[in-house]
A and B are shown apart, each in its own frame.
Chain A
Amino acid sequence: MSEKKLMKGNEALAEGAVRAGCRFFAGYPITPQNEVPEYMSWRMPQAGGAFVQAESEVSAINMIYGAAATGVRCMTSSSSPGISLKQEGLSYCAGADLPLLIANVVRGGPGLGNIAGAQGDYWQSTRGGGHGDYRIFVMAPNGVNEMANFPQKCYEVAYKYRLPAMILADGIIGQMMEPVEFLYPEIDPKTLKEPAWALGVNDGREKRRVNSYDLREGFLEKMVLARAKRYREIEENEVLYEEKMLDDAEIAIVAYGTSARVSIAGMKLARENGLKVGLFRPITLWPFPKARILELSKRVKKFLVVEMSMGQMVEDVQLSLNGRAEVHLHASPGASTMTAAELYKTLENIMKKGAKEYAAAK
């Protein structure tokens, strides 16, 4: 579709959102995602949209709540502590069935943590994050090219099923530069049909309401059940994953994002040393590719989850397998990154020395 261009992860993400039709952005500075609002501050007006540097992350997500209610494709981005602040607003967006894009360029936590890349926000992202009974669509890019191309998919799913969509990156992917190719045609928002629920100027239709409450007995239950039905449809139709060298694998690494990149190097090193290792990379973290993982367990009897956290996604792998295969964990918490050599050592421990299940850490 377009020629290759060298771009920084955060800028590719911002440009990808604009090309996917985003015309409103609100955000607040926080490292390591500052390039997103900086890029949007000039790119948004250039594209005929609006940019606001909000007074806080709380305010930014509520600007998005308002903008999303008008049917305009909109986006906010932040990093871990800022995403925590946005959870109230995100819960309201989910409760009002509003589509939007939120990007989390994850850093070390909890608390102020540090500003290096990490994967400690998996639970927060895949379990809703805010109060109440809801889900958000979560995609995990493994590099700059996916940062550039995932916004389009996020908007597509968000608008089809009416829910917030998140891109869960990390500080490494946000800051690194790689060649980018935009894989889809640029979307002109003027060509998009206005959603039937969007607030705005009207020629005498019935008034429209956007809210997340219903105090009448039984009505909130109906609202949540309707949403649960859409969540099931998403689980059936929108799962994405990537598999590498799993055909003859005796152990499958399960890793997403940056961890999946390191895992490829670890896998290659292990293969060179005679270990039959494959890689399973969830691309959507919710919906989690649990059916495919269960299917894999018919052939693969050992799984190694590799995460830059103390072990969060490992629980989803265990739930998917439901005891049908061994689950091990290689955890790099505190915004540390594993190396290929460390992964090989863990793989060797499991395959040659019979390491205990879930024995974790470096």
Chain B
Amino acid sequence: MQLLNKRPESLIDVPMHYCPGCGHGIVHRVIAEVMDELDIRKRTIGIAPVGCAVFADVYFNCDMIQGPHGRGPAEATGIKRAKPDTIVFSYQGDGDLASIGMAEIVHAAIRSENITVIFINNAIYGMTGGQQAPTTMPGQKTTTNPAGRDPKLAGYPIRVCEMLATLDGPAYIERVSVHNVANVLKAKRAIKKAFKTQNDGLGFSLVEVVSPCPTGWNLTPLKACEYVDKVMIPYYPLGVYKDITQSKSDISDSKKVLDKESVEK
């Protein structure tokens, strides 16, 4: 018998706690495959968030740290600055990254920390039972928007890629999805490119993954994938939002330095 495919070395063989139809498991596998293919497992440090992916520090077969809610990009900054020869990734959900951790993600991007962020957007708080996320769409029902999110009362959702792409700092930002095979393959290409961007020392990279949450959305796994396709992607368009990896200049070239001397001239 010929072995056609196997578990990536970067993923540990333990049962995962994710719900049926959840996107986390797919994204974990994709990250692990990328770590294997780039041969970076032995120098990669991953950061697990607070939220559904809290146990990611168990699942990945590389050094892992789990810390406070939303602070992944700050932890990543400390790790990378203390050990610049490591590859550091922060794995975060939408509540973690875009609500409680908004300052940390924005400022890591501003500083162009040479780290990679994998951002799972499922428009809901999964672990705590389906409350409103910063990415919950207008009209979407959650346990804290029983009548649907009303922007007049609860504000509008945030589009993270679009926001971060306005900054000078980031090197590479792309939004992908994992609701079907074609998009999983695209997601893998994006995640691989993000890790390569870091490996090449080009600066901050982030891949947002629009991801199904059948439990939180009260849908079957199949219907949840349809929901991603028909509802989420129109609101969160897929694509590359920032990419300086092909340009020859690094980000420092684009900065005009205004010190006392140049002002006096």
With A201-B85, A213-B54 as known contacts, state yes or no: A66 contacts B42, CB within 8 Å. no
CA distance A26 to B111 in the complex (A): 14
Residue from A63, A72, A202, A203 in contact with B74 in the complex, judged by beta carbons closer than 8 Å: A63
Binding site for A on B (CB under 8 A): 12, 42-43, 45, 47-48, 54, 57-58, 60-68, 71, 74-83, 85-86, 103-104, 106-107, 111
User: Is A200 in contact with chain B by the CB < 8 A criterion?
Assistant: yes
Asked if B68 and A88 make an inter-chain contact with CB atoms under 8 angstroms apart, the answer reads yes
Residue of B nearest to A213 (CB): B66
Binds B, one of A149-157, A204-212, A322-330: A204-212
Residue from A24, A59, A202, A211 in contact with B71 in the complex, judged by beta carbons closer than 8 Å: A59
Asked if A204 and B65 make an inter-chain contact with CB atoms under 8 angstroms apart, the answer reads no
- Tell me the minimal C-beta distance from B97 to chain A in angstroms: 14
Asked if B45 and A55 make an inter-chain contact with CB atoms under 8 angstroms apart, the answer reads no
CA distance A207 to B60 in the complex (A): 9
CA distance A210 to B48 in the complex (A): 10
Asked if B107 and A209 make an inter-chain contact with CB atoms under 8 angstroms apart, the answer reads no
Asked if B64 and A59 make an inter-chain contact with CB atoms under 8 angstroms apart, the answer reads no
Residues of A within 8 Å of B76, CB to CB, are 66
CA distance A74 to B107 in the complex (A): 21
Closest 5 CB pairs of A and B: A66-B78, A66-B75, A63-B78, A62-B74, A67-B78
- Tell me the minimal C-beta distance from A236 to chain B in angstroms: 31
User: Is A199 in contact with chain B by the CB < 8 A criterion?
Assistant: yes
User: Is A30 in contact with chain B by the CB < 8 A criterion?
Assistant: no
User: Is A23 in contact with chain B by the CB < 8 A criterion?
Assistant: yes
For chain A, residues 51 to 86, give those with C-beta under 8 angstroms from any C-beta of chain B. Answer: 52, 54-56, 58-60, 62-70, 72, 74
Residues of A within 8 Å of B67, CB to CB, are 62, 65-66, 89, 92, 96, 211-212
Residue from A64, A67, A207 in contact with B64 in the complex, judged by beta carbons closer than 8 Å: A207
- Tell me the minimal C-beta distance from B23 to chain A in angstroms: 23
Residues of B within 8 Å of A60, CB to CB, are 74
- Tell me the minimal C-beta distance from A49 to chain B in angstroms: 8
- Tell me the minimal C-beta distance from B43 to chain A in angstroms: 4
User: Is A296 in contact with chain B by the CB < 8 A criterion?
Assistant: no
Asked if B82 and A210 make an inter-chain contact with CB atoms under 8 angstroms apart, the answer reads no
Q: 12 A-B contacts, Cβ less than 8 Å apart?
A: A26-B78, A52-B78, A54-B74, A55-B103, A59-B71, A59-B104, A63-B81, A66-B82, A199-B86, A200-B45, A208-B64, A210-B64
- Tell me the minimal C-beta distance from A41 to chain B in angstroms: 13
Asked if B82 and A207 make an inter-chain contact with CB atoms under 8 angstroms apart, the answer reads no
With A24-B82, A62-B74, A207-B64 as known contacts, state yes or no: A202 contacts B107, CB within 8 Å. no
User: Is A360 in contact with chain B by the CB < 8 A criterion?
Assistant: no
User: Is A269 in contact with chain B by the CB < 8 A criterion?
Assistant: no
